[in-house]
Structure 1
């Protein structure tokens, strides 16, 4: 190897011909070039990774490195080469996902705008008017899809949103402005917002579950310190026998909610008058439930 280095050094020195060498014999120049070319040809045939160029102590390490490369880096090298072969794959995939999100966003906005056009805003509603009674008033204009009465239960007047199956029903509902409902004439205007839909999996699935909804009320603003037994005793002492009660809450909200199912539908109607009554330290709000209280499914224990 040292001899080769010396030869290559001499060849490099020989190639650096000083200007004075131009006056040398042309035959000696030709012979010198042939020797240099022969040396270059010999060096080009050498393999720097050949076994004889490495000491024997390095052979074991080289074999281990080769095994690790073949086992751990084979797939990563293939993956890298595949990405190099198709550099636009990731960009195309990202563009496809962004396009799909934009499409879903446009579809959602279109559905929301259509729902707004089918909805009217009703204000100056007597606090004793129920959602069923309000929906019955507007049913003469078209099919009512949803009806939500909102506002403080302590207020004399409340407001609501009524959604129809089509825009014709919403336009016809605007003519009912000034209609006496309870003790006050209602005002009807086009709505600027849509009604947040109820999760369809919670809606009644059969006639029996619809009958359960008629016997169920939805109670909100329940003090977190009030136990389920206290909620049940409150409604049973005021309204009637409770057949099922589901008290829900989490660590995020400051109050809890409950679904209270009575044995009799008349008890649920009486329970609507409990809005504003204090349970614990908070005045509760009670409204008709749109979902039944389904019994919990018990999973079989494995022995």
Structure 2
């Protein structure tokens, strides 16, 4: 497929997609798809953001542009406890990069023990993140703290020794690490070590 054809396909996909925000944390992808199915045929529905927060958002893609246009009229609809906001999407729904998905049973098991953490204060170090999660949840076996000069916050993938610790870590959403409240959600990908070793203490 040529670059031009790929771009045209992506632009078509964007025109068929709406961005929905202010989603109550009791609302599932199924609920959303059901609501928006009244506007047209839904081909993909992806809820993103912290599962415990009302700051969740979603992308809903329709089979045609008309569905997306009709969907804009649903802004203000009460879904759960909050009225949702519906806007034209600026991006297409990005498929999860299959290269990052678990490739083996071992990696699937690693994912269960891993959380994805966002909104991390730039002043916080990798050691700070490790101490925070070990104090609140249990022993950390591997940790990757990522950031750049463009974004004002950093993200981290934290893998625990025990799956129970990862479940506990989800309750840390909203807790302050440095000057900011972090957001914690289940990770869809394992922490692959750049060099195959765990963090040394």
> Which of 180, 189, 192 is equivalent to 1:294?
192
Stretches of 4+ aligned residues off by more than 6 angstroms: none
Give the secondary-structure state (helix, strand or coil) at the position aligned to 1:137: helix
Choose between structure 1 and 2: higher strand proportion. Answer: 2
Alignment gaps of 5+ in structure 1: 1-102, 299-303
> Which of 141, 144, 147 is equivalent to 2:47?
147
Larger RCO: 1 or 2 (CA < 8 Å, sep 6+): 2
Alpha-carbon distance in structure 1 between the residues aligned to 2:28 and 2:155? 24
Paired position in structure 2 for 1:204: 102
Superimposed CA distance per residue, residues 220-271 of structure 1 (whole angstroms, 9 cap, x where no aligned partner): 3333443323212211222333332112335565543210123444543443
Instruction: Return closer, same or farther for 1:190/1:257 CA change in 2, 3 Å cut-off.
Output: closer
Paired position in structure 2 for 1:180: 79
> Is the contact made by 2:20 and 2:86 (CA closer than 8 Å) also made in structure 1?
yes
Alpha-carbon distance in structure 1 between the residues aligned to 2:43 and 2:164? 26
Alpha-carbon distance in structure 2 between the residues aligned to 1:115 and 1:210? 31
Query: Is residue 232 of structure 1 aligned with residue 130 of structure 2?
Result: yes
Post-superposition shift, 1:190? 5.1
Alpha-carbon distance in structure 2 between the residues aligned to 1:244 and 1:162? 31
Q: If the length of structure 1 is used for normalisation, what is the TM-score?
A: 0.47
Alignment gaps of 5+ in structure 2: 197-201
Instruction: Return closer, same or farther for 1:226/1:193 CA change in 2, 3 Å cut-off.
Output: closer
Paired position in structure 2 for 1:111: 9
Paired position in structure 2 for 1:120: 18
Choose between structure 1 and 2: higher helix proportion. Answer: 1
